[in-house]
């Protein structure tokens, strides 16, 4: 078997991962995937105080790493992961606006998380996935994911509070994002976050730059920025507390990527289980590379899976095009400066939607996997995990502390195993 597929010309209505379209169609679909991922990949770094330009750049680099790790057989795009937002904010004490002054500490944790994730991938390749599904079933992984979303709730609420004009923009951003996501065409729904950014942005131009009812958007940095230039890379700093807190996100990334790979297998009608281990390794290495240069942790994107479901095109070459386009944007300081002009109330409104969806999506995971909440084992595991995460329960040992996300993760895994020890013996 060759390292990469030969990508034969597609002849049927469904374009498989090892098939290709003509160059024009491949380029067009690549741009479509770039647009589909851009809203979330731009929003996540802004909510953590990271440089969104670097996030775009490393999303492209990470996608190419994933492409190589899976030998061009798994169609996926890697973008900024929202699972890192809560732990990064907790580790750095980020205030919620402007550049994060403690970004280097967060980057060290992101690199460590990627290393843990890649190690899990190597273990999966050697032993299979049975142990993952035994130790981290949907009831556990979804409980941790929901705790992350609830842990972020105070930050989201503080982002929409302010003057009348500020709250008007934030609430309008929430409403328009929700309307597009619920009632837009299938293609437009994938761009609901971009629609929310655009609508809120226009409203700030009207109320701020036009009527003077709120702070206006400052375009001076945008005008001064060059069209082409090197990004401002950041070197990570490895801090024990931040590593312990952020590395726990590997649990969520494993569950997320596992679900995505199985979903793509179902959509293509092919057995993708062989790609689970390489997929974890590729995603883990991509996260390490991103964190080493100043980018966010990355993960496979459901937005791009939605595009594949609509177009029925799964050719992995499409994602190579999208990746190179993202890398090109990453070398444009002008593009980065434009992203930095997105107003605070717009980000606040979007954070309410996104953080809420993080928690709500976990409820869907319970429903899809038919988790039995009449079983006290499941009910207590979820209940304790949610309270520890939402309440940000922190444990300190000497100079070492574990925040709410870390304690919630440990509680979910350990408590589920303890409560099920009789079943484990059987």
For residue 320, pLDDT over 60 is answered with yes
pLDDT band at 175 (very low <50, low <70, confident <90, very high): very high
Q: When comparing pLDDT for 150 and 291, which is higher?
A: 291
What distances in angstroms separate CA 173 from CA 132, 185, 205, 346, one per listed residue? 39, 19, 14, 6
Q: By percentage, how much of the chain surpasses pLDDT 90?
A: 38
For residue 186, pLDDT over 50 is answered with yes
Cβ pair 131, 354 in contact under 8 A:
no
For residue 50, pLDDT over 90 is answered with yes
**Mean of the per-residue pLDDT values for the chain?**
86
What distances in angstroms separate CA 130 from CA 98, 127, 182, 331, one per listed residue? 44, 8, 37, 42
What are 335-362's pLDDT values in tens digits?
888 888 888 898 888 878 877 877 777 7
**d(C-alpha 161, C-alpha 170), whole Å:** 8
Question: b or e along 234-254 (b: 16 or more beta carbons within 10 Å of the residue's beta carbon)?
Answer: bebeebebbbbbbbbbbbbbb
Q: When comparing pLDDT for 305 and 7, which is higher?
A: 7
pLDDT band at 174 (very low <50, low <70, confident <90, very high): very high
For residue 139, pLDDT over 60 is answered with yes
Q: What is the DSSP string of 406-420?
A: HHHHHHHHHHHHHHT
From 407, 414, 410, 419, select the one nearest 379 (Cα to Cα): 419
- Which of 22-26, 149-153, 189-193, 312-316 is predicted with the least confidence, judged by mean pLDDT? 189-193
Mean per-residue pLDDT, 39-66: 91
For residue 426, pLDDT over 50 is answered with no
- Which of 63-67, 319-323, 399-403 is predicted with the least confidence, judged by mean pLDDT? 399-403
Mean per-residue pLDDT, 104-127: 95
- Which of 130-139, 161-170, 268-277 is predicted with the least confidence, judged by mean pLDDT? 130-139
pLDDT at 403: 66
pLDDT at 358: 72
For residue 19, pLDDT over 80 is answered with yes
For residue 3, pLDDT over 80 is answered with yes
Q: What is the DSSP string of 82-121?
A: GGGHHHHHHHHT--SSS--TTHHHHHHHHHHHHHHHHHHH
Instruction: Please count the CA atoms within 13 angstroms of the CA of 93 that sit on its side-chain side.
Output: 3
pLDDT at 126: 92
For residue 319, pLDDT over 90 is answered with yes
User: Where would I find the beta strands (DSSP E) of 242-311?
Assistant: 298-300
pLDDT band at 177 (very low <50, low <70, confident <90, very high): confident
Cβ-based neighbours of 216, under 8 Å, separated by 6 or more: 204, 208, 209
Mean per-residue pLDDT, 27-56: 86
From 253, 230, 331, 262, select the one nearest 80 (Cα to Cα): 253
- Which of 230-244, 287-301, 337-351 is predicted with the least confidence, judged by mean pLDDT? 337-351
Q: When comparing pLDDT for 269 and 325, which is higher?
A: 325
Mean per-residue pLDDT, 81-86: 84
pLDDT band at 57 (very low <50, low <70, confident <90, very high): very high
Mean per-residue pLDDT, 45-55: 91
Cβ pair 401, 241 in contact under 8 A:
yes
For residue 190, pLDDT over 70 is answered with no
């Amino acid at each position: 078997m060759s390292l990469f597929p030969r990508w034969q010309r597609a002849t049927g209505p469904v374009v498989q991962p090892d098939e290709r379209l003509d160059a024009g169609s491949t380029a067009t679909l690549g741009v479509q995937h770039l647009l589909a991922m851009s809203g979330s990949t731009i929003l996540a770094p802004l909510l953590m105080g990271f440089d969104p330009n670097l996030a775009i750049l490393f999303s492209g680099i990470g996608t190419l790493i994933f492409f190589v790790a899976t030998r061009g057989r798994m169609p996926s795009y890697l973008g900024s992961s929202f699972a890192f937002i809560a732990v990064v904010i907790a580790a750095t004490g980020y205030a919620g606006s402007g550049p994060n002054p403690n970004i280097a500490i967060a980057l060290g944790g992101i690199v460590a998380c990627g290393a843990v994730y890649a190690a899990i991938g190597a273990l999966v390749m050697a032993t299979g996935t049975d142990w993952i599904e035994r130790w981290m079933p949907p009831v556990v992984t979804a409980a941790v994911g929901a705790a992350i979303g609830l842990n972020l709730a105070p930050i989201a609420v503080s982002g929409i509070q302010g003057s009348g004009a500020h709250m008007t923009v934030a609430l309008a951003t929430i409403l328009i994002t929700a309307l597009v996501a619920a009632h837009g065409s299938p293609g437009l729904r994938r761009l609901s976050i971009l629609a929310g950014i655009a609508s809120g942005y226009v409203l700030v131009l009207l109320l701020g730059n036009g009527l003077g009812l709120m702070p206006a958007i400052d375009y001076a940095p945008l005008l001064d920025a060059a069209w082409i230039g090197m990004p401002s890379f950041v070197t990570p700093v490895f801090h024990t507390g931040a590593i312990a807190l952020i590395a726990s996100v590997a649990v969520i990334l494993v569950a997320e990527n596992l679900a995505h790979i199985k979903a793509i297998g179902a959509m293509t009608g092919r057995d993708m289980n062989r790609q689970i281990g390489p997929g974890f390794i590729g995603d883990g290495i991509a996260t390490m590379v991103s964190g080493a240069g100043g980018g966010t942790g990355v993960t496979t994107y459901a937005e791009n899976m939605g595009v594949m479901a609509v177009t029925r095109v799964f050719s992995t070459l499409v994602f190579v095009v999208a990746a190179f386009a993202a890398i090109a944007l990453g070398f444009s300081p002008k593009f980065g400066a434009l992203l930095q002009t997105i107003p605070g109330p717009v980000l606040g409104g979007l954070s309410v939607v996104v953080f809420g969806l993080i928690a709500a999506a976990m409820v869907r995971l319970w429903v899809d996997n038919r988790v039995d909440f009449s079983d006290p084992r499941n009910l207590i595991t979820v209940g304790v995990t949610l309270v520890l995460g939402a309440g940000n329960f922190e444990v300190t040992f000497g100079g070492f502390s574990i925040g709410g996300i870390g304690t919630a993760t440990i509680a979910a895994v350990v408590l589920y195993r303890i409560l099920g020890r009789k079943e484990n013996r059987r």
